[in-house]
């Protein structure tokens, strides 16, 4: 726990400064690197044991992200975040049948590798749309990140202290319903505190609350889905990149799920 907190204290300020002060092009290049690190770990969870094969998967996804960056990505990204929403609806259904994809064969490996691309491309698109928005895109992106952090942090501390009924014992035994509702309470606190900072009037509290709750829910979904993939792969963590935090994917799973849905919800709600 001590190592986990120390790592967070170092990385959180760096992440905040990157979101707020980096130009969008530079920031999205950084996001690409982080997402590709996640794909490297995802390849192992999908069943790729050979380094060359995992490197090839990373290279394919790198080309896709590069092509998106060089294209007229603003319009394309709006379509891709819809793809992200559709995927996470399907992922929620998958979680109700956790035995799907459990067998370690080439077919399931190919499906999971394809899913890896469906995970990172809409997430990249959501981050790009938010960060590039005028006049306060970086502020909105930071707000989305803070919602995910709040959901995770409040869930952890409430769940560890209250305990009680398990949320998804066959997928992630450590998560409880108390932690789940504690995480949602956390996102509501962040939403209320962020409104004046984002220049949102109190007459828009209801859409802000709805977007915050949706983001919190989807962030939990992202966490649970990665937990399912790790369980199927027989892995405790996706990697060992971050002391006390596991791999890059262990820190990005909730954000990967939340970013396209948050960006789409913000568009739909007119915030």
**What CA–CA distance (Å, rounded) separates 266 from 209?**
11
DSSP state at residue 168: E
Averaged pLDDT for residues 18-43: 93
Least confident range from 53-67, 239-253, 257-271: namely 239-253
* % residues pLDDT > 90 (the chain): 71
User: 3-class SS at 77?
Assistant: helix
Report residue 163's pLDDT band, with 50, 70 and 90 as the boundaries: confident
Domain that holds residue 89: 2-269
Give pLDDT, residue 1. 52
What average pLDDT does the segment 9-29 reach? 88
**What DSSP designation does 238 have?**
S
Residue 74 pLDDT class (50, 70, 90 cuts): confident
Q: How many CB atoms lie within 10 A of CB 120?
A: 24
Q: How many domains are there within the chain?
A: 1
Nearest to 78 by CA among 207, 265, 216, 222: 265
Confidence (pTM): 0.92
Tallying the residues shown for the chain, one arrives at 271
Q: For residue 22, what are the CA distances in angstroms to 56, 69, 70, 137?
A: 29, 16, 19, 12
In this structure, what token pair is assigned to residue 36? 């590709």
- The predicted structure's pLDDT at residue 4: 58
Q: What is the pLDDT of residues 227-240, one digit of tens each?
A: 999 999 888 877 66
What does the pLDDT read at residue 15? 85
Specify the higher pLDDT residue, 15 or 64: 64
pLDDT for 3 equals 58
Structure tokens at 267: 């568009």
CB 124 within 8 A of CB 68: yes
Mean pLDDT value across residues 50-69: 94
pLDDT, tens only, 179-230? 999 999 999 999 999 999 998 988 899 999 999 999 999 999 999 999 999 9
Q: How confident is the model at residue 243 (pLDDT cuts 50, 70, 90)?
A: low
DSSP E strands, the chain: 166-168, 172-176
């Amino acid at each position: 726990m001590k190592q986990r907190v120390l790592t967070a204290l170092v990385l959180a300020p760096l992440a905040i400064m990157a979101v707020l002060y980096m130009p969008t092009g530079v920031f999205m290049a950084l996001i690409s690197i982080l997402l590709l690190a996640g794909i490297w770990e995802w390849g192992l969870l999908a069943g790729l044991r050979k380094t060359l094969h995992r490197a090839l998967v990373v290279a394919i996804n790198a080309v896709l992200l590069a092509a998106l960056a060089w294209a007229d990505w603003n319009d394309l990204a709006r379509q891709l975040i819809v793809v992200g929403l559709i995927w996470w609806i399907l992922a929620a259904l998958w979680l109700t049948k956790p035995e799907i994809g459990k067998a370690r064969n080439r077919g399931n490996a190919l499906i999971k590798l394809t899913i890896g691309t469906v995970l990172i491309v809409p997430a990249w698109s959501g981050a790009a749309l938010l960060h590039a928005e005028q006049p306060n895109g970086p502020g909105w992106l930071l707000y989305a990140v803070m919602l995910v952090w709040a959901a995770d942090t409040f869930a952890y501390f409430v769940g560890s202290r209250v305990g009680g009924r398990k949320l998804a014992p066959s997928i992630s035994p450590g998560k409880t319903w108390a932690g789940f509702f504690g995480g949602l309470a956390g996102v509501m606190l962040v939403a209320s505190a962020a409104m004046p900072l984002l220049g949102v009037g109190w007459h828009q509290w209801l859409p802000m609350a709805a977007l915050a709750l949706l983001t919190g829910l989807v962030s939990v979904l992202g966490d649970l889905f990665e937990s399912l993939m790790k369980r199927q792969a027989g892995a405790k963590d996706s990697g060992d990149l971050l002391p006390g935090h596991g791999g890059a994917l262990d820190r990005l799973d909730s954000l990967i799920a939340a970013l396209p849905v948050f960006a789409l919800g913000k568009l739909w709600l007119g915030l």
